[in-house]
Amino acid sequence: MQEPTFLILTALAAGAQHGYGIMTDVARISDGRVRLRAGTLYAALDRLRSDSLVECDKEEIVDGRLRRYYRITPEGTILLAAEVEHMRANVAAASFRLGLAGGPA
Amino acid sequence: MTAPVSEPKGRGAAWTEERGTSDEGRQRPRAARRRASGGTERAGGGTERAGEQHILERRYRRLLALYPAEHRREHADEMIGVLLASASDTGTGHAADMADLVAGAFRIRSRNAARRLRRPGTLRGAVRDRRWGDALAVVSVVAPLLLLVAALAQFNLPQAVASTASGHPYWPLSGPFSVPDWALTIGAPLVVLLAFGRLRRLGGLAALATAIGLLPAQSITSPALAFSVLLAVTAAAGLLLSRGAEHGFALIRWWGAALIGSVAILLGGFSLGGFSLSGYLASTGTYAPAVPGSYTNYAVLPPAEVTGLAGDLVIAGVVVVVALGCLLTPVGRRVLALFAIAMVPYAYIWADKLSTDLIWQRGGITSISTSAVMLYLPPALVACVIVVGTRLSRRRADTIAATG
């Protein structure tokens, strides 16, 4: 799983968000390291929706413009959890090899 | 790498509650837009900023035209809102946002294209007109047969058959064998086996591979090479874009295919009889190998023989009759258009033989010079006319259906 995908699913894991909310949340989660732009975000959302990992939650009209909220699907949650486990195992292995076991991962 | 894992819920969740989720989350972009749209008089220069936003929105919308129509319908407004909010929030990065929009459109379009290609029957679905589908099915039978004849010509088989049929001694069955072109020798029978064995997709790919494999074999200016390459490409188009040889056989019947194959062998023999790799010395009744750069060992064909000038006229007559016959039906006309692609270099082969029979036999030396442009540009134009013409007529039909 690529990092932007991971971060988008992570952002949605806590609840439904609209596009701009996801963008700012991803920046926050990654400590400003990953800044998604609209083109990247909507290309990723398009893929995640076609893979049934994300779905539309609700729509609103704000200032005359459509605002759509997205939420993670059960399949998305399972995939994200699996990825977290996978990364946790990698982190544990790397920490052990670096002699950091027990320290901050 | 560790950030998303090591700080999962705490900050992200708290922030989400603060801004990202539902009602609270909406406040920020709205506020940002209000700021940006000049809604607050105290900020001053509001109209100016609104103008800037308007210009920016227009630019973004222009780039959104790169996205698939469906995506645009569903997300354009939403994306504009996000882009404007993001622009007014950061105050910079318009160019980067624009570049990212273009990249996003490319990603979505390429993913859609890959998805469409994975769908079974996609290529076949590209041909919506039933008559073109039927014509391509006929081509999927006939083109592999012609390709096989071209391959057998390397072993002088069509020449021998034509000589035997016409009683001409030029190419008896025991005649000399030329060095075979391996791509054609292996590719042509393989294409026939796969096409007639109901493996049309594999047959189509084998035909494409044959066309590519042929290219390094001879000079690019050789009409014979161009004929084989374009025939292989035509066979590939027939096999990949139609229901395949089975449907083609249903349209022309097995005896139709047998007749076409037999005529092709005869005409192939006649086409190659007049000039070739070795000469028949009429004076001694023996064969002599061709000497490069010299014409002394080439035969002077007895003029009355069918493989001479009469053979050229037979070929022309058969081609004209078949073409006229094709003109009678809509599917036939389309078959004719598809074979016109490969017939361009064949016309050079025929014209070269005709000039040989007319002039060389009377003591002159002639050879029609060809170039890659002459051989490949007209077929490419024919192919373009077919593709563009069918697209335009489909669009016209759609328009008529929509308005009617």
Write down the ipTM of this complex: 0.85
The residue of chain B with its CA nearest to that of A21 is B20
Is the model's pLDDT at B32 over the cut of 60? no
Domain boundaries, chain A: 3-97
Which pair of structure tokens corresponds to residue B250? Answer: 């249903």
pLDDT digits (tens, 9 = 90+) for B49-105: 677 778 888 888 888 999 988 888 888 888 988 888 887 766 555 788 889 899 999
pLDDT at B122: 61
* A89 at interface of B, judged by CB pairs closer than 8 A: no
CA angle, B384 as apex, B379 and B386 as ends, to 5°? 95
Q: What token pair was written down for A76? A: 């998305």
pLDDT level of residue B140 (50, 70, 90 thresholds)? very high
Determine the angle formed by the axes of helices A38-50 and A3-13, rounding to 10 degrees. 80
pLDDT tens digits for A20-53?
999 999 999 988 888 888 999 999 999 999 899 9
- A81/B16: higher pLDDT: A81
CB B379 within 8 A of CB B394: no
pLDDT at B13: 35
Task: Indicate yes or no: CB of A105 within 8 angstroms of CB of B80.
Answer: no
Q: Is B29 in contact with A87 (Cβ distance < 8 A)?
A: no
Quick count: other Cβ atoms within 10 Å of Cβ A49?
Answer: 14
Contact B11 A66 (CB under 8 A): no
Which residue in A42, A47, A69 is closest to B111 by CB distance? A47
Domain A3-97 is of which CATH architecture? Answer: Orthogonal Bundle (1.10)
Q: How far is CA B108 from CA A42, A43, B115, in A?
A: 9, 6, 10
Nearest to B349 by CA among B228, B250, B241, B209: B228
CA dist A49 → A23, A42, A70, A71, B312 (Å): 17, 10, 9, 10, 64
Q: Mean per-residue pLDDT for B241-245?
A: 87
Percent of chain B with pLDDT over 70: 69
**pLDDT averaged over chain B?**
75
What is the separation of C-alpha B330 from the centre of its chain, rounded to a whole number of angstroms? 22
Q: What is the pLDDT of residues B311-338, one digit of tens each?
A: 888 889 999 999 999 999 999 999 999 9
pLDDT of residue B29: 44
- The partner residue sitting opposite A43, judged by closest CB among B13, B20, B107, is B107
Cα–Cα distance for residue pair A90/B7, rounded to 1 Å? 16
CB contact under 8 A, A24 and B19: yes
Q: How many other C-beta atoms are found inside a 10 Å radius of the C-beta of residue A15?
A: 18
Minimal-distance CA residue of chain B relative to A20: B82
Chain B residues lying within 8 Å of A82, measured CB to CB: none
Half-sphere exposure of B213 (CA within 13 A, CB side): 15
Instruction: Give the torsion sign (CA, B338, B341, B346, B348).
Output: positive
Confidence check: pLDDT of B292 > 80: no
Does the structure show a pLDDT above 60 at B377? Answer: yes
pTM metric for this prediction: 0.55
